Amino acid sequence: MNKILIIIVLFVVVSINGQTDDKNTITQLNQQTVTLYKNGNLDEALKTAKKSLELTLKTYGVDTQESYLAYTNLGTLQREKRNYDEAIKNLQTALEIYRKQSNFSNARLIEMYQTLGLTQFLGGKKKDAEASYLLAINTTETVFGESKELFLPTLNAANLYARLGDFVKADEFYLKSYRLAIKKFGEESKEIEDVADARVCLNVDNKKRDSLFETEYNKIFDFKPTKPEEIVNGKSIKLIKPPYPQEAKEKRLTGEVKIRVKIDEQGNVIEARSACGKGILEKAAEEAAWLCKFSPTLLNKKPVQVSGVIIYRFSAQ
């Protein structure tokens, strides 16, 4: 899911005072699971997570914080292995256990809904995924109101709808994400860039829908001269074409790379970074973007800095 749908991985090592041998073993298994996962050894991590769950259930019982963590770890690893049915079942079990805890954290509950929603989406259970993401939003609004905590669930929901092809609904949530980002984090925040990256990477061009989106966007940002996800290829004086990397040739990689750029008053690129694309192709695209030149953008007859996106398309050669 690359940069777009944000994957939440929960690995928590259980620490126990006055540990017995079994409790010590559980702690060690959890630590091994984390280490194996970080080292990319998913098969062995999955084995230790299963051992940890079995011993945790035996030692602590079912409806405990320790069992919740063990089910969460196992479900997360199963998702990474694309065993989605088992992952969903274990994450749902973890969620049910968590709800029974007297001192549960609302923040973690919201996180858990999103973890489950992502897993359901990857497993093809689209309606279930939508329900989980909306539960995350509703819970956040109930507990925290219109707050910083609401930003991530809202953006994740926008990304989900875009992945499902419901771009009208996606735009509704992208605009909500923009409003939250500017209100809670500021106009120059990373969160603004996160929304722009997500929409430019997942959106499918539609003139009527994009026009409606731009109207609402302008209300939020007080009619800036360009949107951060606006495609600026056509405004270039000099659009540098990136070379097709040798490694990409050997692998016959194709696809689009979308480069976010900031352009100064003279039309020079002063920032360039990839919003999305295949890693081998991204570096070549970024280097080319730095060398591009654009016509100055005028606001009230004065040149201003603007942001936009250059799209590079790579085809097998």
Binning pLDDT at 50, 70 and 90, where does residue 292 land?
very high
Q: Are residues 261 and 120 in the same domain?
A: no
**Structural domain of residue 131, as residue ranges?**
21-221
Q: Are residues 248 and 101 in the same domain?
A: no
For residue 156, being part of any structural domain is answered with: yes
Closest to 97 in 3D by CA, of 75, 66, 73, 120: 66
Closest to 111 in 3D by CA, of 143, 67, 77: 143
What's the CATH code of the domain at 247? 3.30.2420.10
* 9 has pLDDT over 60: no
Q: Are residues 195 and 249 in the same domain?
A: no
- Parallel, antiparallel, or unpaired: how do β-strands 269-276 and 255-263 relate? antiparallel
pTM of the full predicted structure? 0.83
Q: Are residues 182 and 301 in the same domain?
A: no
For residue 11, being part of any structural domain is answered with: no
For residue 134, being part of any structural domain is answered with: yes
Give the residue from 221, 243, 263 where a domain finishes: 221
For residue 226, being part of any structural domain is answered with: no
Q: Are residues 25 and 163 in the same domain?
A: yes
For residue 2, being part of any structural domain is answered with: no
Q: Are residues 302 and 153 in the same domain?
A: no
Q: Are residues 217 and 237 in the same domain?
A: no
* 3 has pLDDT over 80: no
**pLDDT, tens digit, 9 for 90 and up, residues 272-291:** 999 988 888 999 999 999 99
Q: Are residues 186 and 289 in the same domain?
A: no
Q: Are residues 251 and 288 in the same domain?
A: yes
Give the residue from 175, 196, 221 where a domain finishes: 221
Q: Are residues 286 and 266 in the same domain?
A: yes
* 13 has pLDDT over 50: no
For residue 5, being part of any structural domain is answered with: no
In this predicted structure, what is the pLDDT of residue 228?
61
Q: Are residues 63 and 143 in the same domain?
A: yes
For residue 192, being part of any structural domain is answered with: yes
Report the number of distinct structural domains present in the chain: 2
Helices H, strands E: what count in the chain?
12, 7
Q: At what angle do helices 167-184 and 151-164 cross, to 10 degrees?
A: 160
Binning pLDDT at 50, 70 and 90, where does residue 224 land?
low
Q: Are residues 272 and 214 in the same domain?
A: no
Give the residue from 221, 241, 261 where a domain finishes: 221
For residue 10, being part of any structural domain is answered with: no
Burial class from Cβ neighbours inside 10 Å (0-12, 13-18, 19+) for residue 55 reads middle
* 142 has pLDDT over 70: yes
What's the CATH code of the domain at 178? 1.25.40.10
In this predicted structure, what is the pLDDT of residue 1?
40
